[in-house]
Amino acid sequence: SEERDHPSHSSRHVADLPERPQISGEFAFKLYDTYGFPLDLTELMAREHGLTVDVAGFEKLMEEQRERARKAQKKQEISVEEGELKVEPTKFLGYDFLETESVVETVLPGKKSGELNIVLDRTPFYAEMGGQVGDRGLLHVPGHDWTEVGKLRITDTQKRGDAFIHRAVIAEGRAPESGEAVRVSVDADRRRAIQGHHTVTHLLHWGLHQIVSPDATQKGSYVGPDKLTFDFSSAALTKQQVRDVEKLVNEKIAENAPVSWTEIPYAKARNRNDIIQFFGEKYGDIVRVLQIGGAPRALNGYSMELCGGTHVNSTGEIGPFRIVREEAIAAGTRRIEAVAGHAARNWAKQEAARQQEKFELLARKKPDIAVLPLFESEAATTEMLEQIDARATHLEKVEAEVREWEKRSAKATEAKIRSRAAQIANDLARSHAGRNFCVAEVPDADGKLLQAVVEALKRKIKGPIFLAGARDTSVALVAYVPKELTRKFQANKLIQQIAPIVGGKGGGRLESAQGAGKDASKINEALTEAKRLLSLA
């Protein structure tokens, strides 16, 4: 039964022993082999009850198990990626434990240099499945007298068939050998973040059904320590719908409802419309139902899904939840990216930095904008998210203000340019009266001003116009040829011939062309060449 097999009841086996001087090695091995109960803990609990443990008998049985593992190991070095691995199924203890003693089934080389693929008889490490990433942590190789002869970093956990593959690199000492007992421990903080994101993914799925549509069906997900993504079938969500879903999920988190799981026959789950299951997914005869709310394991929660992942014990453990993006990834499929708990805190800090950059950019354009509200990086996560919202509202307002100011400034600048251009055009028209072309330098002029001068001047002079100007170290050139004269002169050719003189280039059409250069000291030479070319006709 579930009661008998559940590892959390292993301590009861020790407490219920009849009064006798020694716990047999066979019983201590059963506690370890069946429940993942380490020998040192069995010895500690035995001492509390005035008992001893037959350690020699335990070690004999452990050695027999190691020998079986050695014999079962394939001698040739095979790649687990090629699906040739043949070992006993790995027993997963990660729902209840984050640290266990295990026996190494086999050690194989990984694809990457220095990487090992280690298979254990039992493990608390969750292998990547159902969108949830694999666990990371440490593997310790103990020597005699509890000294450590090796320490490895487990960088990922994958599943091949029924075997859990621990991808590892040596941090200190040596790698474990087949049949050797090791101690493995999951990175608890990372797992905690992943579990929060996995449970809140279920809440998000439920929330979408409540706010958007019961037809918002899950299409895929990613559950990691840094964020979660949830893909679902739907039209685009409105901003209000996104806010409403986020609010509802946070309300359910605040309720601190129990999160429980129970195993039932798939046939029973299949007949329950209130238990979400995924069409096309292959399920075994026994399935695990993850329930949020209701009485624990009573299958009466408001959210119930078939799920083999790891989860928090109550929604309050998740922490503040924030949707950071909602977007299309395919026709009819949307993706929500979100963060919760510590990941939401990290996101808020990063978002505050992005907001500061945006504010500084706006302030460079218009220095007198209102100051950005304060962000306190040591505040509670909920307060940090509220500050982010206040700053976002402020930035929207300031951005609109700067846009309006830029429009007004552009209009004023344009008017000023037109006014100055008209004055310059009048002066040039007077100084070139009676000539059949105009070649001139305009002081402190860029391409925009020269173009405006040409527009005003071409109504006053009937022939070609060639203007040059310099501002700072940049040279601007503009050429204009009336349409009726383009058989004799071409504006683009004039620019192409003259621009290299000032260290530049340019181009355009027969009637109008522009160029730019970097050598202002050659402007007079360029103008002389323009006069020569226009005098050839």
Encode pLDDT of 103-142 as tens digits: 999 999 988 888 999 999 999 999 999 999 999 999 999 9
pLDDT value at position 537?
59
Among 70-79, 209-218, 354-363, name the one with the lowest average pLDDT: 70-79
DSSP code string of 290-341: EEESSSTTSS--SEEEE--S---SBGGGT--EEEEEEEEEETTEEEEEEEET
Is the model's pLDDT at 9 over the cut of 70?
A: no
- Domains 91-186 and 434-536 belong to one CATH topology: no
pLDDT value at position 63?
78
- The pTM of the full predicted model, rounded to 2 decimals, is 0.72
- Picking from 55, 41, 29, the residue whose alpha carbon sits closest to that of residue 97 is 41
Q: What is the DSSP letter of 131?
A: T
> What's the pLDDT band for 72 if we cut at 50, 70, 90?
low
pLDDT value at position 70?
58
Could you tell me the CA-to-CA distances from 390 to 354, 372, 385 in Å, in that order?
A: 14, 9, 9
Q: What is the DSSP letter of 369?
A: S
Sign for the CA dihedral angle at 330, 227, 92, 145 comes to positive
Decide: 140 and 182 in contact? Cβ < 8 Å. Answer: yes
Candidates 2.40.30.130, 3.40.50.12280, 3.40.50.150, 2.60.40.10; CATH matching 91-186: 2.40.30.130
Helix 39-48 / helix 25-35 crossing angle, nearest 10 deg: 120
Is the model's pLDDT at 496 over the cut of 80?
A: yes
> Is domain 434-536 classified as CATH 3.10.310.40?
yes
> What's the pLDDT band for 279 if we cut at 50, 70, 90?
low
What is the C-alpha separation between 53 and 47, in angstroms, rounded?
9
Q: Tell me whether residue 493 is exposed, middle or buried, using C-beta atoms within 10 angstroms of its C-beta: 0 to 12, 13 to 18, 19 or more.
A: middle
Looking at residues 91-95, what average pLDDT do you find? Answer: 97
Give me the percent of the chain exceeding a pLDDT of 90: 77
Looking at residues 444-462, what average pLDDT do you find? Answer: 93
Domain ranges of the chain: 22-71, 91-186, 192-340, 346-404, 434-536
Decide: 376 and 384 in contact? Cβ < 8 Å. Answer: yes
pLDDT value at position 14?
47
Is the model's pLDDT at 4 over the cut of 80?
A: no
Is the model's pLDDT at 46 over the cut of 90?
A: no
pLDDT value at position 143?
82
pLDDT value at position 262?
96
Q: What is the DSSP letter of 75?
A: S
Candidates 1.20.120.80, 3.30.980.10, 3.40.50.2300, 3.40.640.10; CATH matching 192-340: 3.30.980.10
What is the C-alpha separation between 428 and 461, in angstroms, rounded?
9
Task: List all residues 6 or more positions away from 236 whose beta carbon is below 8 Å from its beta carbon.
Answer: 326, 328, 334
pLDDT value at position 315?
98
